Structure 1
Amino acid sequence: MKTLKKHLIVIFITLTVAMAFLNSIINSVFNTIAENITNEYMMGLALIIYFIAVILVLVIGAILFVHLISKKIKEENIRYNKEKNILFANIAHDLKTPITTIMGFSKALYDEVVDETEKKELLNSIYGKSKRVNELLDLMFQYAKLDGVDFEMKLQELDVGRLIRETIALYYNEFEGKSIEINIEMPEKPIKLNLDNVEFSRAISNLIINAYRHNKPGSKVAVRLEEDDGIKIIVADNGENIDDEMKEAIFNPFICGDESRNSKEGSGLGLAITKKIVEKHGGKIFIDSNIDGYTKGFVVQL
């Protein structure tokens, strides 16, 4: 949508400038001719031709504007439908494996072809796969909701540092389970911004989840809050760096910077959701590979 708006603005400005230029030429030509006309009939005829020329420029400009807008809207619809088809294909791909496992294991239990010692293991697998399906559907719902025309942010003044600390606290066990050291670097004074508590907490959660899910045991993670001409939230780690060509693509749906999605540890939707939330708050998110003591960091700038 933002790309389409930019194209429309560019088209409008370009055509406005072009029409103004043509009208200035018409005015110049008319003034030159009018200086040499002494006959009232010829002057009236010249005025009629002048007004016809001005109207023609206006009509041609309007036709071009409508044509170019229609073309851009058509291109945007084609791009959107292509992205939607890819999204649906990836959703089907990611849902197929756990659903197939659930069907197979539940059929085995129904047919009673497994002994008592294996039942608990199969039930645990069914639960795990069901949880995975539910998580993926929840992410899909979040992503679709953020694209909805009726979606509105519920902004309120919040202490950003407190929000980040509370979010990190939810995942301490996951970091300890993978023996990942997490360092929290926050200023002592409160830093307040107008944020949507639920959505912005979700954005930070996705970055935290990404940090422990895509780093090896023994890694280091830092979460920083900096105030300098706005604020920066940095989630850095000393894991593998991300190639330059992936630094923008990684925020697209179903894209991961490693093999995690193929191994079913990640969905590739978390960072896409985070980007949408950050942009709806008027900010931007990017990857910085020049963070002291760390190989990379996801930076949210507001």
Structure 2
Amino acid sequence: MNTKKNIFKNTIVFIIVFIIATALFFISLSKILNDNTFDNVFGEYIPISDNVDESSLNWEKIAELGGSGFVVDGNKVIRTYNKNYNKEYSNSELLDFVTLGEEGQSTFVFNTYDGNKFFLSYPNDKVSPTINFNLNKGESTLKKNILIFLFLIIGGYILIIYFIVRWLSYKINNELAEIYKKQERDRDLLFKGIAHDVKTPLAVILSYTKALDENLVINEKRESYLKSIVRNAAILNDRVDELLEFSSIDNLTIEKENKDILELVRRYVGDNYSYFLDNKAYIEILFAENDKFFVDVDYKLFQRLLQNLIQNSIDHNEKDAIITIDFKDDKLIFKDNGRGIDSKDIENIFDPLFTGDTSRQREKLRGMGLANVKKICELHKWKISYKDGFVISF
């Protein structure tokens, strides 16, 4: 059960990390694509194509950002914006504008539609340094750089997801391996227990039968031998019935009906009253006659559950069994006057063929009864536990 919880926990962790990583990726991508174009300058106030119509730019806003520009035809300045420039610049001076710029300024160069050169300058603090990479080379270069940047982000995102999936796969594989090992151990113990439970009474039957057949038993002991054979045959029959029940419960079609579970308990105890007396067992129902509690239940399976629980108390008592059945806080509580179950054994009492006793009654303590009870509870989505008695929580 803990292993299954660990797998579920790791899966939830992966889903949460995946959602967070995905959200961060798309938030980052959205910010990159929708950011007001690099410090509110790029795109709207700095053209992104080679050929521009500089007169169509928002020069009032450009002025607020400290930007200015001029157009040259050859070496002569034919138009200026937001600043008085010289009327003429040499080729070296124009080159300095681009490579060095005016002090504290970044300058970009574009072609105009009338075949001239347009120089646009902004204060460095108004222009993000990330856009100083060759904007004058045109829109295609810019798009290429953006695509490379996005590719790196997506690649990093995919790499993170890859390592998360690898880690989760490793954890799940380890958990599944533990489940498989436990199943193998449980199966091995089950088969060993079955072999032991069959071998012991079968050996008694074979040896006593052989002794009787060969007339090795004196007349005074023949009846004792026959009773022992019958008793061990009954044990074998019980084990076979329990094993068949254990293997068939999972494949049953459960047919639930909404019934008063307390009335079902009363009916079962009343119908089997003679059997309990014959086995020196006394059943006392503590909840009131008019108490009711309706649940969805398969009555046939519930009868099996009651039979196994009560029979467990009968088998475990070396004296007459006094069994009480109570109902409190939506729980059915079964107690008896036996010596109880050792605390070290409580964790394993619902395991198939578990025995925690080494007394002369050991052959009675092996079996599938409590394992069947737990399966029936699980089919109904109930919980069963032991605390000074068996408690079924609805």
TM-score class, shorter-chain normalisation, is 0.7 to 0.9
- Kindly, what percent of the aligned residue pairs are identical? 25
Q: Using the alignment, how far apart are the partners of 1:266 and 1:32 within structure 2?
A: 71
TM-score by length of 1: 0.81
Distance 1:261 1:198, change over 3 A: farther
Give the 3 Å change call, closer, same or farther, for CA 6–194 of structure 1 in structure 2: same
The aligned residue for residue 152 of structure 1 is: 253
What's the CA shift for 1:51?
Answer: 1.8
Distance in 2, matches of 1:48 and 1:213, equals 72
After superposition, give the CA deviation of every residue in 1:238-279 in whole Å (9 maximum; x if it has no partner). Answer: 332434333332222233454468531222421122112112
Q: Is the 8 A contact 2:308 2:369 kept in 1?
A: yes
Q: CA deviation at 1:19?
A: 3.1
- 1:49 paired with 2:48, answer no
Deviates more, 1:29-38 or 1:198-207: 29-38
Task: Evaluate the alpha carbon distance shift between residue 242 and residue 113 of structure 1 in structure 2; reply closer, same or farther with a 3 A threshold.
Answer: closer
When residues 181 and 138 of structure 1 are mapped into structure 2, their CA distance, relative to the original with a 3 A threshold, is closer
Q: Looking at secondary structure, tell me which structure has more helix per residue.
A: 1
- The letter for the 2-side match of 1:124 is K
Of residues 78-87 and 65-74 in structure 1, the stretch that sits farther from structure 2 once superposed is 65-74
Question: 1:98 offset after TM fit, Å?
Answer: 0.5
1:221 aligns with 2:323: yes
Task: Report how many aligned residue pairs link the two structures.
Answer: 289
Matches for 1:1-302 after TM superposition, within 5 Å: 3=2, 5-23=4-22, 31=31, 35=38, 37-38=130-131, 39-114=142-217, 118-146=221-249, 148=250, 150-169=251-270, 171-173=272-274, 175-176=276-277, 180-187=281-288, 188-217=290-319, 220-226=322-328, 228=329, 231-256=330-355, 258-259=357-358, 263-288=362-387, 296-302=388-394
Higher RCO, Cα 8 Å, sep 6+: 1
Q: What whole-Å deviation, never above 9, does each CA across 1:57-104 have from its counterpart, x for those lacking one?
A: 333333333333222222111110101101111111111110001111
TM-score, normalized by length of structure 2? 0.64
Q: Compare 124-133 and 16-25 and name the one that shifted more.
A: 16-25
Structure with max Cα Rg: 2
Per-residue deviation at 1:143?
Answer: 2.0
**Matched residue type, 1:220:** I
Unaligned 5+ segments in structure 2 are 39-127, 132-141
For structure 1, which segment, 13-22 or 75-84, has the greater mean C-alpha deviation from structure 2 after superposition? Answer: 13-22
Distance 1:119 1:11 in 2: 65
> Residues 217 and 110 from structure 1, CA distance in 2 versus in 1: closer, same or farther, beyond 3 angstroms?
closer
CA 1:180/1:244 → structure 2, altered by over 3 Å: closer, same or farther?
same
